């Protein structure tokens, strides 16, 4: 495994841990590496039940990644209304949705060619 893949794996694991710590739901990992002209290698998609929980998920991810990997997102947007927050870690982009917004945009179907992995959470 190359160092880049190892770094991506560690980042993905840390992000998922941050989501699970605050009970984020319906976590999906989309592997975009086999699709041409993508902006990143992976999407992580999850949902919270309210804008408060969406912001809690975002904060938890930031704290976990900062503490574990000493990294921070290149860009974050959507925290004002917290219906859909995008966190850009360059090779990994995290989408934190509220359920109704996730259903409306259906990002998983838009990237239907991606290899999809559902992350089992222990609730």
Cα(81)–Cα(70) distance, integer angstroms:
27
pLDDT in tens, 55-112: 999 999 999 999 999 999 999 999 999 999 999 999 999 999 999 999 999 999 999 8
Within 8 A by CB and 6+ apart from 45, the residues are 26, 27, 28, 30, 94, 95, 97, 102, 107, 108
Q: Which two tokens stand for residue 88?
A: 């850009």
For residue 82, the SS3 value is coil
Closest by CA to 53, choosing from 18, 74, 80, 23, is 23
Domains of the chain are 3-111 (3.30.460.10)
- By the 8 A CB rule, do 62 and 113 touch? no
pLDDT in tens, 22-49: 999 999 999 999 998 898 999 999 999 9
């Amino acid at each position: 495994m190359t160092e880049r893949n190892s770094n991506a794996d560690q980042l993905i694991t840390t992000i998922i841990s941050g989501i699970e710590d605050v009970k984020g739901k319906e976590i999906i990992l989309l592997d975009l590496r086999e699709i041409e002209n993508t902006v990143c290698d992976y999407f992580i998609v999850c949902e919270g039940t309210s804008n408060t929980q969406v912001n809690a998920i975002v904060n938890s991810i930031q704290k976990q990644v900062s503490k574990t990997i000493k990294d921070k997102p290149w860009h974050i947007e959507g925290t004002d209304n917290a219906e859909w927050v995008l966190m850009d870690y360059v090779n990994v982009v995290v989408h934190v949705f509220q359920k109704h917004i996730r259903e409306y945009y259906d990002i998983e179907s838009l990237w239907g060619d991606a290899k999809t992995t559902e992350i089992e959470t222990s609730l």
